[in-house]
Chain A
Amino acid sequence: EPEVTQTPSHQVTQMGQEVILRCVPISNHLYFYWYRQILGQKVEFLVSFYNNEISEKSEIFDDQFSVERPDGSNFTLKIRSTKLEDSAMYFCASTAEGSKGYTFGSGTRLTVV
């Protein structure tokens, strides 16, 4: 069964550093998303992306965050200057169309020290 692949599975970074989280969505999917889950809390929507532009972003997705689809397969989330509170599990998801369900990756655990 097709999967959404996220790399790395775990990343540790110094506060203030830039990080890029990478995702390879399912190949025929058109819509892409990032979510985050702070330890022990609920999954929160960050951003949706379609046709090479942001469709919707939440209040969490401030100027420190950006997304990009640099080629035909990768979808990245960049955090420019990480803060301690950015420590969380970040999930990528994709769908061909929302009614068919959303496929999530296994996540990247980001630890900011």
Chain B
Amino acid sequence: AQSVTQLGSHVSVSEGALVLLRCNYSSSVPPYLFWYVQYPNQGLQLLLKYTSAATLVKGINGFEAEFKKSETSFHLTKPSAHMSDAAEYFCAVRRGTGGGADGLTFGKGTHLIIQP
């Protein structure tokens, strides 16, 4: 079964510093990978996705992620953190083997804290 592991339940960075949130996956088939953001008391918003095209994926709000098959990783980065980036970030992998109805398996999430 497909799974993701997010390293670090909490990450704290200074405003303006690089943001790096780590995600490693396990998949028996070529994975589809996603990053979602959740602001307090809100739903899940898609930041970006990897679906077997370009390995460097650009998303909203200046975030990007690079798919590295050799490292089974899909880390999320942003060059310069803003206070508004403070939120919970979830990495997810598509379940199943590619059927259209496959849902997602989520990691445990990383709480991003931005220090002024």
Contacts and interface: CB of A to CB of B under 8 A. Distances in A.
Interface in A55-97: 55-56, 91, 93, 97
Nearest to A41: B108
B107 A42 contact: yes
A25 interface: no
Contact of A56 (B44, B92, B103): B103
Contacts, number: 68
Nearest to B6: A42
B101 A56 contact: yes
B106 A43 contact: yes
A31 B102 CA distance: 9
A44 B106 contact: yes
Interface in B79-116: 90, 92, 94-96, 99-109
A11 B104 CA distance: 25
Contacts of B90: 42-43
A45 B32 contact: no
A35 B46 CA distance: 15
B12 interface: no
Nearest to B99: A55
A104 B43 contact: yes
B51 interface: yes
B101 A101 contact: no
Interface in A19-61: 30-31, 33, 35, 41-45, 47-50, 55-56
A35 B42 CA distance: 14
Contacts of B34: 101-102
Contacts of A101: 34, 46, 49
Contact of A45 (B42, B46, B105, B107): B105
Contacts of B103: 33, 35, 45, 47-48, 56, 93, 102
Which 7 A-B residue pairs are closest in the complex by CB-CB distance?
A55-B101, A106-B43, A104-B44, A99-B51, A50-B101, A43-B106, A42-B108
